[in-house]
Each structure stands twice: as structure tokens, then as C-alpha cells.
Structure 1
Amino acid sequence: MKRVGLVLILLAGAWGWYERQALADFPGILSAYSAKEYCSCRYVMNFDPRYCRGYVQQYLPLSRLDEDAQQRLISAEGLGVISQAQWQGPHVGCRLLP
């Protein structure tokens, strides 16, 4: 029984090492997706804030989702990573800020 547990731990560790880049990138995906999609929902599609908050809601909750309507800037924080998206204009739409 101990051998089976040890083998499972070794396999999980090997899988984690193999997928290390994807696992490292994952925390940024939640905030980046939420900021970009919320921005597009609000300023490209012109939906109201309540609808857009529901639209970007994920299984993992955001710590923060802020909108600066004057600058058309969206800030989202999830899993410790903050991402921002801003409306660039009618021909470009929204883009993530560096």
C-alpha cells in the first residue's frame, strides 16, 4: 500500500514538472480574461455593468473587479495577479495593458 502511494506521489510530481509552465501561467489567466472580456462587454457591446459582471463570472472568484468609466479602464484581480484592459476605440476595441 505504501508503494502505491509513493508511486502516485512520484507520478504527480513528474506531471507537475512536465506542466510547470502551464501551472505557472494559470493565475494570470483569470484576471486577464476577466478584465478583457468585461471591457469588451461594457464598451464594445455597450451592456450594463451588472450584466457584464455576470458574464465574466468564473468558478474561481475574483478578488476585485473595478471600472474607471471616465478612462474606460478595467482592473481585475484574481489569484494574486492584477490585469488591466482599456478601450482603445471603435476600430480596435479593448486590449490588455502591459
Structure 2
Amino acid sequence: MSNFHSTLSRRDFMKSLGVVGAGLGTMSAAAPVFHDLDEVTSSTLGINKNPWWVKERDFKNPTVPMDWPQITRHAGTFKTLPRPTVADFTKAGVVGGTS
């Protein structure tokens, strides 16, 4: 029956428990402490951890030259999709029509 019990003594168990507790205490003391979300957002820890080959660029600083006067804004509508008609609404089963 003695083969089924652990060979770890109480003293060794308590020593390992103390070592683990000391390690956790050291890790918690070394970790940054944030008091509110302003400190989290202003911190640089863990933000944009890109691989080494990814170059950080400023906002509105593209990698290719652009002719800004040639770039036009879209009106916000898609010209490829027709506007739905009343028949489309009734065929889809919309109750109450289009209003």
C-alpha cells in the first residue's frame, strides 16, 4: 500500500509552496499597476506589437506618392445597386410599405 503514496515529504511541499509564493509576489510587484483607463490608454505596453519587419508610419503618410487633387470623394451611394422599389418591398414581405 505504501507504493500508492507520494514520496514528497511535508517539509519539501512547504518549501516548494514558499518558493512559488515568493515568485508570485515578485511577479506581481514587477507588473505595472493601472488605476484607471487613462493610464491604460497612455501606456505603451502591449500596443501595436508588430513584427520587426513592419515599419510604423505617421497618419496620412502613405508609402507611395499620391496625387491628392486627382482623388475624388464618393457621394455615398452605390451606383451598381439599384434603389429598391415598392414592388421589391411587397415581394420581400415588408408590412406597411416603404414609409
TM-score, scaled relative to structure 2: 0.26
TM-score, scaled relative to structure 1: 0.26
Give the strand-richer structure, 1 or 2: 1
Give the helix-richer structure, 1 or 2: 1
